[in-house]
Structure 1
Amino acid sequence: MDVLVLVGRILFALLFLGAGMGHFAQREMMTGYAASKGVPAAKLMVPLSGAVVILGGLMVAIGVWPDLGTLLLVAFLVPTAVLMHGFWRETDAASKANEQTQFLKDLSLAGAALALFAFFAAEGNDLGLVVLGPLFTL
């Protein structure tokens, strides 16, 4: 089971690692997009959120306090869903459908991260194949 959990952690983290790198590689474009969505201090928030996503993804994938890593991902995903993908603000049907899909994707990933948090916190040091076990216990 340890190897299966490791593979699952890595696969889950890949999305966040890629997205976080995009925050830096496409910083100007993402800053403009975030500002157009009304994100306060977009110039600061884009690299900051990129760092949070990379850190959280690495913590989950490598197994360094993976429970804390999942909470970092939730802390990124929920505000991103609301601030960046407010489908209720869209008037164009296609844009509304796209934003709703992205909103639900972010909330679904947040739910998966919370489930992983509970799994990591419940399993504790029995999880295996981690560098530093969970910080929290359930």
Structure 2
Amino acid sequence: MDVIALIGRILFVLLFFGSAMGHFTQTEAMAGYAASKNVPSPKLATQASGAVMIVGGLMVLLGVWADLGALLLALFLLPTAFLMHNFWTQTDPQAKQQEMIQFNKDVSLAGAALLFFGIYAGPGSELGLTITGPLFG
């Protein structure tokens, strides 16, 4: 079961690493999009969210306080879903559909992150192939 948990952690964090790279390599474009969504300090928010994705992703991947890493990712994803993908404000059907897809992706990933949190902070904290045990366990 340890190897299965490791594979699950690897697959889970791949999206965050790819997205974080975009936050750092395309900061101006992403900050412009954040500004269009009325995010305060959009450039700083873009860089900070990229850092949260890398730190949280690494914590889950390596099993260094994986519960805390998963919680960081959930705390990033839920506000992002509502601030950046507010499909209910869109009037163009195609834009509305795209924002709804992104909203649902973020909410679903937040659910998965909370599941990781619960597993690693609770009964699954003894799943092997981690560097540390849980912070909240």
TM-score, normalization by structure 2: 0.97
In structure 2, C-alpha distance between the alignment counterparts of 1:123 and 1:16, rounded to whole Å: 25
1:31-53 CA deviation, whole Å, 9 max, x = no partner? 11110111111011000010001
Unpaired segments ≥5 residues, structure 2: none
Aligned partners of 2:61 and 2:85: how far apart in 1? 27
- The alignment-based identity, stated in percent, is 61
1:27 alignment partner AA: T
Which moved further from structure 2: 74-83 or 118-127?
Answer: 118-127
In 2, are the aligned partners of 1:124 and 1:133 still within 8 Å (CA)? no
Q: Which residue of 2 aligns with 1:109?
A: 109
Taking the aligned partners of 1:116 and 1:43, their CA distance within structure 2 comes to 29
Amino acid at match of 1:28: E
Secondary structure of the residue aligned to 2:61 is helix
Aligned to 1:130: 130
Moved >2 Å (runs of 4+):
none
| Secondary structure class of the residue paired with 2:40 | coil
| Equivalent position of 1:67 in the other structure | 67
Trace 1:1-138 onto structure 2 (pairs within 5 A). 1-123=1-123, 125-137=125-137
Per-residue CA deviation, residues 92-128 of structure 1 (Å, 9 max, x unaligned), is 0111111011101100000011011111111365211
Which amino acid in the other structure matches residue 41 of structure 2? Answer: A
2:74 partner SS: helix
Q: CA RMSD in A?
A: 1.0
1:42-86 per-residue CA deviation (whole Å, 9 max, x = no partner) reads: 011000010001100010011100000001101110111011000
3-state secondary structure, aligned to 1:120: helix
Q: Distance in 1 between matches of 2:18 and 2:123?
A: 28
SS across alignment from 1:126: coil
